[in-house]
Amino acid sequence: MSDLERFFQSAGPYLWFLLLLAMVGVGVWLFKVQQRVEQSYGQLDRLVRGQRGDEGLDILLERLRRLEKEAENLDVLQSALRELELRQNRSYQSVGLVRFNPFTDMGGDQSFALAIVDSFGDGFVMSSLHGRTATRIYAKTVKRGQATQTVSNEEQSAIEQAMRYQQMPPETLSNNSSR
């Protein structure tokens, strides 16, 4: 008699008992899986058929139609938002104001330099020089935060004030240079 046969003769009843326990465990597990499947099927059936027949499927289809409409509305809103962002970038957003006295023989800061720019740093600087007999107003173009003409110290200060809170990313500057 071999060692294997002797092992099975001495441990045989225990092995049969372990095999029986394993089969009972698998049976219990399969029973629980079957219950879960039936429970899920019942929930799905109630959802699709509803309480009074076939209304559940109609409810699902109606919700699907509403979701599709909402997705279309979302696309429209996103397009409108992009358009508003583009328009907002081109609107005047920052202002710089410097009051000054250009003439030493007059009192008060009646003159001013006013700079107004958009998010790209494009806009204008306007100066008003107030004298005893006249007031003169000058306007100069600003491109990318720089005046296109010679400016006074006050005008340059107004431009710098207006540009202080502008955040022009490098890609904006390169896109803006083609205009």
Q: Is residue 34 scored above 90 in pLDDT?
A: yes
**pLDDT (average), residues 62-78:** 91
User: Residue 57 — very low, low, confident or very high, per pLDDT cuts 50/70/90?
Assistant: confident
Q: Which has more pLDDT, 51 or 75?
A: 75
Q: Is residue 66 scored above 70 in pLDDT?
A: yes
Q: Is residue 42 scored above 80 in pLDDT?
A: yes
Q: In whole angstroms, what is the distance from residue 122 CA to residue 170 CA? A: 15
Question: In sequence order, what DSSP letters do the residues of 79-116 get, joined into one string?
Answer: HHHHHHHHHHHHS--EEEEEEE---TTS-S--EEEEEE
- Condensed to tens digits (0 to 9), the pLDDT of residues 94-113 reads 999 999 988 777 767 889 99
Residue in the structure block whose two tokens are 């600087």: 125
Q: Give the per-residue pLDDT at 178.
A: 41
What's this model's pTM, rounded to 2 decimal places?
0.52
Please give the order of strands across the beta sheet that includes 94-100.
Answer: 94-100, 111-117, 123-130, 135-143, 146-147
Q: In whole angstroms, what is the distance from residue 95 CA to residue 124 CA? A: 10
- Condensed to tens digits (0 to 9), the pLDDT of residues 144-161 reads 999 999 999 999 999 999
Domain boundaries, the chain: 3-87, 92-167
Q: Is residue 127 scored above 50 in pLDDT?
A: yes
Instruction: Give 144's DSSP letter.
Output: T
As a whole number, the mean pLDDT across the chain is 84
